[in-house]
Amino acid sequence: MTADEIQRDPYGQIQAQGDVHFTSKGVDIRADALNFDVDSQATDLQNAKIEMKGGHKLSGSHLQRIDLETFQGENVVYTLCPDDDGAWKIVANSAYLDHDSGEFAARGAQFVWGGIPVFYTPYWSHSLYRNSGLLTPKFSNSTRRGTQIDIPLYWAASPNWDMTFTPRWMSLRGTMTDIEWRHRSNIGDELIQVQGLNDKETGTQRGRLRTDMGWRFLPTIDAAVNIDAVNDGFYIADFPLYSGDRESASYLTSNASVAWRDGSDSAIFSTRYQQVLGGASNASTLQVLPRLQTRNYFNIVEGQTFKLEHQSTLFQRDLGVSGLRVGLRPSWSIPWEMQGGAVSTVWAMQAQAVGYDSRNATSSASHYSALATSIQMQARFEKVFADQQWRHEIKPIIRFDVSSAPDQSLQPRYDSSLLPLNLSNLMQGNRYSGWDRFERMRKVSLMFVSTLQSKGDGQVRTVLETTVGMAYDGLRETVDATAAAAPVRANSNLLAEMAWMPHQQWKLSLGGQYHEPTNLWVEAHGGLSWSGQGQYFNMSWRRTDASYSLAAESVTLAAKLKLNRRWSTNTSNQYDMLRKHVIQTRLGVAYNHACWDFSLEGFKSYQVGTNSLTDIGWRFLLTFDGLGSFGDK
């Protein structure tokens, strides 16, 4: 304690006068005069200002400190705003603040915002921290739901679990019940959310169940249950939980798993259920009920690794082939280096054996096995320029793949397909996803990477990186013409990727695949991005020709720009150039203050499963630090 004058009597009473400054247990007090009882910690304050941890400020002509973190007083002002910008405050005839229990209550209170009294109430009460009670309402509007008002009720039942009950009134749909239950323990977290309503537009009962649960039972054992299920395919598009909630998704996925991991070894038992959206039938959707997969690594000698992968999956669906698939995939790799790692080689062998017990109209058993070997070599050549500020590296990579695999066209095909060739899988060998197919190969793959780097202020930054690649398939055979036809040319498309970073905040990227016989870029993409000081701009374009994959072309734009110190604008847009419609677009403005925020957003979203239905609307959110929010996110 410091003051112009301090006196203490033999009974433990302290009186202080003039510019009193007193700190104790995270509480900072400034006053004109103070009377303090050393034993009880009770304090009388005149013309005082109190600041507590968390930024809570209380000032008044006469304040009393009842204990370490409890105050009451008359002619009181309460705020969380900084001293030099008191944007909002609560002015009251009397008030009570208990920082320990997190309670603030006032009588004869006015809420003053920007120097203007917004409203008056004879009694005001709110929680500084987590506490049961009515939360601030939320408002929004859209063409699919009409005017929407949420009135959430929060119940803090226990320190480790709580619940929010939200009646949600929608002028075009009716009233939805939304219950969200949350629990936390020393082994994990659980969230369960249930929604339901009698939709007056469709005349049906509609609902959603969502869970997000995970546990760590032991350092090596964890489990998770994540459910997202609706009772009709248009539910997500009609009632998204939040901005951008899978409005254009094709499937909802629910899964559960138990996993053991010890170093690089693992075993995972899981199940997956997919629900098709957009109103289509779910009868032919493939489900994984259940799957066991294991992965084990064995060090034979130094540098040599033997890996054994296994997967057993029970596939189920109402229409189409179902059954059990069991696969085993051993592999062995031997690395070798020279010139301090500048030149390296990896020789590897891999086998794959898969068995099926399939069911459709009748049951049948089948199997196949494949054997592959590969050798991959790469070298690094670099030049550091005389000024020591620039470095250029060239890295050529060559890979040879040979495999022996039978015709697999009569085998079931559950979850596997031939991945389109790209720079990510060019050096992969077998490009079939999953376990249902294995390529027959006599293939040479080439990749050339060039990197230019600069050094400034002690940091190394990549300025330009280019990658080109192609493959030569001397065999030109397919193991399943229905999954992927045999290539008509021995050499693949030319793959190219370029990224130019002229400044640490800017990046320009271009890439694609060039088909020499037709002089076409059958797949092409590009992007321009900028970021800095809380702002960003991202623009990307992607086009795919039908000869390469499914024909598609889209443009995506996202940006956030600061208009001044507090105002900013943001947008995100995705446009389908083939179908000539907006997938989603959003445009908003935001105001950020030290103790309150405001945002306003307009949106338009295309509804999956339809040709023309869209949802157009707006939402706003007004948030006061320590008091809560008003509107919707």
> Residue 300, Cα to own-chain centre: how many angstroms?
40
Residues whose CB falls within 8 Å of the CB of residue 211, separated by 6 or more in sequence, listed in order: 190, 191, 192, 193, 225, 226, 227, 228
β-bridge mates for residue 396, sequence order: 448
The CATH number given to 5-129 is 2.60.450.10
Say whether pLDDT at 375 is over 60.
yes
In order, the DSSP letters of 474-515 are: SS---S-TTT-PPPSSSB-PEEEEEEE-SSTTEEEEEEEEEE
Q: What is the pLDDT of residue 354?
A: 98
Calculate the CA dihedral of residues 78, 82, 87, 89 and round it to 10 degrees. 0
**403-442 residue pLDDT tens:** 999 999 999 999 999 998 999 999 999 999 999 999 999 9
What pTM value is reported for the model? Answer: 0.81
pLDDT tens across 431-485, in order? 999 999 999 999 999 999 999 999 877 788 999 999 999 999 999 999 999 888 8
Task: State what percent of residues in the chain have pLDDT above 90.
Answer: 63
Which one, of 283, 294, 367, 295, lies nearest residue 325 by Cα? 367
According to the model, what pLDDT value does residue 36 have? 84
Q: Residue 633: what pLDDT?
A: 66
Type and span of the H or E element at 303: none
Alpha helices in 227-322 (DSSP H): 235-238
Q: Is 430 exposed, middle or buried (0-12, 13-18, 19+ CB in 10 A)?
A: buried
Mean pLDDT over each residue of the chain, to the nearest integer: 91
pLDDT of 158-213, one tens digit each?
989 999 999 999 999 999 999 999 999 999 999 999 999 999 999 999 999 999 99
Q: How many CA atoms lie within 13 A of 175 on its CB side?
A: 6
Q: Which amino acid is at 298?
A: F
* Segments of 360-456 assigned E as strands: 363-379, 381-384, 390-404, 442-456
pLDDT (0 to 100) of residue 610? 60
Q: pLDDT-derived band of residue 102, with 50, 70 and 90 as boundaries?
A: confident
What single-letter amino acid sits at 49? K
- Mean pLDDT for 127-145 is 84
| Range list for CATH 2.60.450.10 in the chain | 5-129
Q: Which residue has the higher pLDDT, 491 or 607?
A: 491
| The pair of three-digit structure tokens given for residue 67, joined into one six-digit string | 């204990």
Q: What is the predicted pLDDT for the residue at 394? A: 96
Instruction: State pLDDT tens for residues 224-255.
Output: 999 999 998 888 888 887 655 655 678 899 99
Residue among 270, 273, 271, 249 at smallest CA distance from 260: 270
Q: Is the pLDDT of residue 609 over 60?
A: no
| Mean pLDDT lowest among 150-154, 217-221, 352-356 | 150-154
Q: Is pLDDT above 80 for 258?
A: yes
* The two structure tokens encoding residue 424: 């990510």
